[in-house]
Chain A
Amino acid sequence: MNNTITTNETMPKMADATRLRTCQLLRFSQGSSTIVFSIILLCLGFNYYMANICGGGQLLRTVSLTLTTILFIVAGFMILETATRKRKSLYAEVYRGSILILQRVIIIMFVLLVGGASLLEIWSPWLSNRIFPGMIFFGILGLTDFRNFILTRLPEDLASSIAILGLSLTNIGWPLGNYIWLYLFLWGLIGLLQGVILYIRWQQSTKRISNGNREEKAT
């Protein structure tokens, strides 16, 4: 069907603005999961730090403790999320959200694998290299956040990219050493900060919207 349509040039701009607003709202809604993910990273960092101090004998106990902590946090979070999300005034799922979950699972598995390998002193020649797994892991997460920044234009998504740049520059002059727990702590803290900001923004958005809806109903 051929239509003669008078088009307005502002329409795609308006559509892009709506898409940006949607991406931002979806990102805000990820605040609580970012906080949980950061707590998991901090738990892992703490466990590896303890294992580094206590030596390889504590490894099994540390890893099992870590896994139990993660399972408890994730299970608790999922129960809470499913119970409360739909009750709220706003609810949306990110398109292909399972990729995001898979990405986080891969990162945790990678950390467990590399952390375990470093504690058992496997791959020691590779691990002692300057381009060590900690930086690779940090880089992967930083790139993910940079992609988020491109999509949402939120300044808090730049935090990890700036941290990576700073760490890389520091590392050139003063090598930080291959301490996976150090990177986990750093990332966990940055993630926690990001998560808190996103969570606050989400709360503000939902509050503003529910107030707006009430006003609209009243009129």
Chain B
Amino acid sequence: MNAVQTEVNLDPLIHEANRLKIMSVLVECEAADFGFVLSATALTRGNLSSHMAKLVQAGYVNEKKDFVERKPHTEYRLMPEGRDAYAKYRKQWHSITGG
């Protein structure tokens, strides 16, 4: 089995496949809208909304809702706390796998 069990301080909020995908997209962007994150992660709308809500609640992501030509437009920005948490997660991951 391709799995290892280890005791570390991995952030449980990021350590979930879909949320890790979302964070990986946002870390490369200054800001991205819902459509962009949806296309880059290939998640379903409902899945993306629920995972994004958790990241927003944790203060990792900033959500800005407005209307563009009377259509709702949601923009997401990774907060400095989120960027730090992602960097820390990747660092810890490399220390576990040694890669």
Contacts and interface: CB of A to CB of B under 8 A. Distances in A.
Give chain B's interface secondary structure class. Answer: mixed
Contact of B3 (A6, A12, A23, A93): A6
B76 to A, nearest CB: 9
Contact of A3 (B10, B24, B27): B10
Interface in A81-98: 86-87, 89-97
Interface in A25-54: 25-26
Contacts of A212: 39
Given A3-B12, A22-B29, A93-B29, A213 B38 contact: yes
A37 to B, nearest CB: 19
A129 B58 CA distance: 59
Nearest to A10: B2
A25 B40 contact: yes
Contact of A91 (B28, B33, B69, B90): B33
B8 A18 contact: no
Interface residues of B, number: 41
Contacts of A10: 2
B9 A14 contact: no
A79 interface: no
Contact of B27 (A7, A8, A19, A91): A19
Given A7-B4, A14-B20, A97-B30, A213 B35 contact: yes
A205 interface: yes
A64 interface: no
A17 to B, nearest CB: 9
Contact of B28 (A1, A3, A4, A95): A95
A136 interface: no
Contacts of B88: none
Contacts of A89: 35
Interface residues of A, number: 38
A15 B28 contact: no
Contacts, number: 119
A147 to B, nearest CB: 14
B15 interface: yes
B7 to A, nearest CB: 5
A75 to B, nearest CB: 22
B24 A22 contact: yes
Contacts of A213: 35, 38
A87 B72 CA distance: 10
Given A18-B41, A19-B24, A87-B69, A95 B6 contact: no
A103 to B, nearest CB: 16
13 contacts: A3-B12, A4-B5, A7-B93, A8-B3, A9-B2, A11-B15, A11-B20, A12-B93, A16-B24, A19-B24, A23-B28, A91-B33, A205-B39
| Closest 6 pairs between A and B when the two form their complex, measured CB to CB | A92-B32, A93-B30, A18-B24, A92-B36, A91-B33, A209-B39
Interface of A: 1-12, 14-16, 18-19, 21-23, 25-26, 86-87, 89-97, 205, 209, 212-213, 216
